Structure 1
Amino acid sequence: MHIGINAQLLSFGQNYRNGGVSRYIRYLLTELARQPGDHTYTVFVNGQEVIEHLAAEHPQITYFAAAWPEEQPAARVAWEQFTLPSLIRQKRIDVLHSPVNVLPEWLPRQCATVVTLHDLAFLRFPGVLTKAKRFYHRTFTIRSLRHATMVIAVSESTRQDAHKLVGIPLERVQTVNPCIDTRFLSAVEEEQIQAFRKQHQLENGYILYLGTLEPRKNITTLIEAYAQLRQNYTTPVKLVLAGGKGWLYDEIFAKVRELGLESEVIFPGFVTDTEQVLWYRAASVFAYPSLYEGFGIPVAEALACGIPVVTSNISSLPEAGAQIALCVDPYNIEGIARAMHRAITDQEFREKCRSSASSVAERFSAQRMVAQTREVYAKAAAVHALRTKHRHTSFVQ
């Protein structure tokens, strides 16, 4: 088959755009280059520089560079909705995969479609998104889910949300977990970890949050739990809130000032790929008490690094936690504080996390993700062919 992949949201910029969905696309494309199967691929990206970042020439993969200003999302939407369908027709694409929630509206009839659904936060927690984001998702994401031949959900929790909140039949939704980058599996010497801590003046250890600074991540509650941890257990570790500013983040900084924690809470900003491994490996604990996640890949990444994890007991986070992470009520400040204290002090639990790292890496491997994704492409093509045959038979009759 000829597979088209709309990789417009792939970014190599050192900012929040190089976040979860961008990494999902990057790992998908990188692994498809290693195991493409019998298919050929046309990958639509934004800009020639993205192609230069990806890879050398490949006998089964062609990259097509669109051009729209990255700082103007409306330009991307216009390109996806009005230009991409004609390109699909010209290139005779059999299956189009949109890896981030949205398909073009007017697609050629010969094309089967697959859309990856990362989450339905705009339905679960509409108040934590800007009006523009809510409008975009309500306009495009729901229609895409209903029109897609097959839907890939990044977790079983998201698969169930697609069914319960949007009414998508479960047989049209396949769960395919995202993968962990292999760089998180590399060994790091203890001397390097200690040097990293010293460089950032974190010799006593630290609790790490890594992700976009936005309301859904429940960061203000994490800050309150950290304040209680310091008060009840007199722990010397600091709190590191690493990640680029997303939206509606002012409350996070205000909470730090309100609790007088300016010297104890560190904001290193967006963390580059090269530094991510060290931020994880040098952490005492990884804390991610998000209110809702389609999957929550940072939880799996931290576990693959052998780091104790405290996360939420709701949405997909127990899945990402792989029955290893401490899962707590994200609204319970005292419970989060207790869990962080246990993760710091319980040596048996810490050893369990270290010894389970390789099994987590295998569970969320790129090879597994791409093999399952290719199976969805084949299923989408088969379903589309059956529908087309049925329509033709009905027309003739």
Structure 2
Amino acid sequence: MRVGIDAFPLSGRIAGIGRYVLEIMRALDACMPHADFFLYSPEPLVVEMPSARWHLRVEGTRKASSYVWLKRTAGEMAREDGVQVFWATRTILPARTHAFRTVSTVHDLNYRIFPESMPYATLWAHRLWFARDVRRADAVVTNSQGTADRLRAMVGVQTDAVARPGVAEVFGPQAPEAVASRLSALGVRNPYFLAVGTVEPRKNLPALIEAFVSLKKSGEIPDHQLLIAGSRGWRGRRLHALLNEAERHGVRWLGFVSDEDLAGLYAGARAFVFPSHYEGFGIPAAEARVCGAPVIATDLPELREAAGEGALFVPPTVEGLRGALLHPPTEPPMGEVPDWQTAAQVMVEQFERLA
């Protein structure tokens, strides 16, 4: 079998969709030992190929939106390579797909639910093509049942399968001495709350910071810090100004941290806090709980899937978060965490059915 993949999410610092694509790719290499994979991107990738059966096709330098490149160029390259199935990792399909079948992965409906949080080019690409492309895809896979339910209600498209994210092997129970060593290297002291995510509006970090600072000012959590780990995002100028102002009250932005450091941060946290307005699944909540962190999260169906039973679910308001920080859970959530092998097997079933 010859499988084409939109690999653009792997061309920069690996975030949510990029992590999802990369981990499933690694599992696919074991699940499909006789397949060849063709990765299409307008820019070089920052990851190593899983094996010699993975072929990278970089077409020049991206000058326009990566979605325009996908529409104009990726499909032509896939036809030249004779792929049988094309995996649209970012939902949007190439313009002409008559030569191969298509699997579209839907990660969220952010363009409908929280459009003001999206970069301009991404928002308009989704407004132009999202609904049309999921309707014409040969198979649609979502990353959560919550996303599947929203897709059916808001776009009228039934999902063919759900492939929930797993967690990387580095995340799991951490030895206390290893946690202490990593926290020391990062200059972190206990106790602290931890938030993780790209610094952008949908993550609702201003409400979390306001809730935390108000408790610090009132003397109710005098010794706690609030640590925020994540890369710079978009529309973040106001938020970074707020972070600078809140630093004197114990708020600290760590920027991007490695998975190994992140595992230690999860394990040492008084609680992991996920205050997002909206998520398609919420991989950090799953990572935090397998590392042993109590979890506070916005009350969304998708985050209930990720965080598991025993997390504290609250409204994404200053008051809701304030109450949760004052009385956080003391134990990590329970329940089985999905794994990447299961997610990859879902994709294999779709690829084989269509090919």
TM-score (norm 2): 0.91
Within the alignment, does 1:23 sit opposite 2:19 as a pair? yes
Structure 2 match to 1:79: 69
Structure 2 match to 1:32: 28
Structure 2, unaligned stretches of length 5 or more? none
Structure 1 match to 2:83: 93
Structure 2 match to 1:342: 327
Give the C-alpha shift of residue 115 in structure 1: 0.9
CA-to-partner distance for each residue in 1:323-353, whole Å, 9 max, x for gaps?
232111112x22222223333xx5xx42x54
Match of 2:309, SS?
coil
Structure 2 match to 1:157: 146
In the alignment, is the contact (CA less than 8 A) between 1:220 and 1:251 conserved in 2? no
Structure-to-structure mapping, 1:164-313, within 5 angstroms: 164-168=153-157, 170=158, 172-185=159-172, 187-230=173-216, 231=218, 233-256=220-243, 260-313=246-299
Cα distance in 1, alignment partners of residues 77 and 188 from structure 2: 52
CA-to-partner distance for each residue in 1:58-89, whole Å, 9 max, x for gaps?
xxx3312314446x562x33432222222222
In the alignment, is the contact (CA less than 8 A) between 2:227 and 2:254 conserved in 1? yes
Is the alpha carbon distance of 1:37 and 1:201 closer, same or farther for their aligned partners in structure 2, counting shifts above 3 Å? closer
- Aligned to 2:113, which of 124, 137, 146? 124
Deviates more, 1:122-131 or 1:289-298: 122-131
Is the alpha carbon distance of 1:111 and 1:242 closer, same or farther for their aligned partners in structure 2, counting shifts above 3 Å? same
TM-score (norm 1): 0.82
Structure 1 match to 2:95: 105
CA-to-partner distance for each residue in 1:163-196, whole Å, 9 max, x for gaps?
222221x2x44221112111112x4331232233
Within the alignment, does 1:54 sit opposite 2:38 as a pair? no
CA-to-partner distance for each residue in 1:346-396, whole Å, 9 max, x for gaps?
5xx42x54xx4xx54xx3211111111212223444xxxxxxxxxxxxxxx
Give the C-alpha shift of residue 30 in structure 1: 0.7
In the alignment, is the contact (CA less than 8 A) between 1:292 and 1:314 conserved in 2? yes
Match of 1:178, SS?
coil
Matched pairs, number: 354
Structure 1 match to 2:56: 64
Structure 2 match to 1:385: none
Cα distance in 2, alignment partners of residues 220 and 147 from structure 1: 39
Cα distance in 2, alignment partners of residues 47 and 29 from structure 1: 18
Structure 2 match to 1:391: none
Cα distance in 1, alignment partners of residues 279 and 121 from structure 2: 20
- Structure 1 runs (4+) greater than 4 angstroms displaced: 45-51
Deviates more, 1:197-206 or 1:28-37: 197-206
Structure-to-structure mapping, 1:123-142, within 5 angstroms: 123-142=112-131
Is the alpha carbon distance of 1:308 and 1:68 closer, same or farther for their aligned partners in structure 2, counting shifts above 3 Å? farther
Cα distance in 1, alignment partners of residues 128 and 352 from structure 2: 28
Give the C-alpha shift of residue 200 in structure 1: 3.6
Is the alpha carbon distance of 1:253 and 1:82 closer, same or farther for their aligned partners in structure 2, counting shifts above 3 Å? closer
Cα distance in 2, alignment partners of residues 254 and 47 from structure 1: 32
CA-to-partner distance for each residue in 1:18-44, whole Å, 9 max, x for gaps?
101111111011111121165443333
Match of 1:54, SS?
coil
CA-to-partner distance for each residue in 1:138-183, whole Å, 9 max, x for gaps?
1232222121111111111111221222221x2x442211121111
In the alignment, is the contact (CA less than 8 A) between 1:4 and 1:44 conserved in 2? yes
In the alignment, is the contact (CA less than 8 A) between 2:38 and 2:57 conserved in 1? no
Match of 2:345, SS?
helix
Is the alpha carbon distance of 1:191 and 1:156 closer, same or farther for their aligned partners in structure 2, counting shifts above 3 Å? same
Larger radius of gyration: 1
Letter in 1 for 2:30: R
Cα distance in 1, alignment partners of residues 308 and 64 from structure 2: 35
Match of 2:253, SS?
strand
Structure 2 match to 1:114: 103
In the alignment, is the contact (CA less than 8 A) between 1:119 and 1:293 conserved in 2? yes
- Identity score, percent: 28
In the alignment, is the contact (CA less than 8 A) between 1:3 and 1:39 conserved in 2? yes
Match of 2:82, SS?
coil
Is the alpha carbon distance of 1:263 and 1:87 closer, same or farther for their aligned partners in structure 2, counting shifts above 3 Å? same
In the alignment, is the contact (CA less than 8 A) between 1:6 and 1:99 conserved in 2? yes
Is the alpha carbon distance of 1:262 and 1:133 closer, same or farther for their aligned partners in structure 2, counting shifts above 3 Å? farther
- CA RMSD of superposed structures (Å): 2.3
Is the alpha carbon distance of 1:252 and 1:147 closer, same or farther for their aligned partners in structure 2, counting shifts above 3 Å? same
Cα distance in 1, alignment partners of residues 353 and 32 from structure 2: 16
Letter in 2 for 1:20: G
CA-to-partner distance for each residue in 1:272-304, whole Å, 9 max, x for gaps?
334222222222211011010111111111011
